[in-house]
Amino acid sequence: MITNLPASVWMKQDLSEYQIFDVRTPAEWEEGVLSHAECVALYDNHGLLNANFLEEFQARRNENKKLAFICRGGHRSMMAANFIKNELGLESVNLDGGMLALKGLI
């Protein structure tokens, strides 16, 4: 199951029990990344699907932590969460609102 956690909730929580994967593009990471987030792009800077996403995810995965995904606004992170659920059967949390919520833009 994928839990879609609204920004109004996750921004007030201690997320230390989660391994957070930032699935934005490398160009977007230059705008800032959450502390301790793993950067694994779902798409490259040209909008093409990262063919190595699953491999890069598995190489960085800490099995002792719960999974959470974040992107700019919540759409790509939900796509990544669903992909990981379908491919590996792993439950996760989508940090809805993403980095825009942190910047107060939504």
pLDDT (tens digit per residue) in 23-40: 999 999 999 999 899 999
Does residue 102 surpass a pLDDT of 90?
A: no
- Give the global pTM: 0.94
Specify the 3-state DSSP secondary structure of 44: coil
The conformation of residue 74, written as its DSSP 8-state character, comes to S
- Are the C-beta atoms of residues 68 and 7 closer than 8 Å to each other? no
Q: If you classify domain 2-102 with CATH, what class do you get?
A: alpha beta
- Are the C-beta atoms of residues 32 and 59 closer than 8 Å to each other? no
Residue 59 pLDDT level (bands cut at 50, 70, 90): very high
Residue 105 pLDDT level (bands cut at 50, 70, 90): low
Does residue 106 surpass a pLDDT of 50?
A: no
Residue range 62-100, pLDDT digits in tens: 999 999 999 999 999 999 999 999 999 999 999 999 999
Residue 11 pLDDT level (bands cut at 50, 70, 90): confident
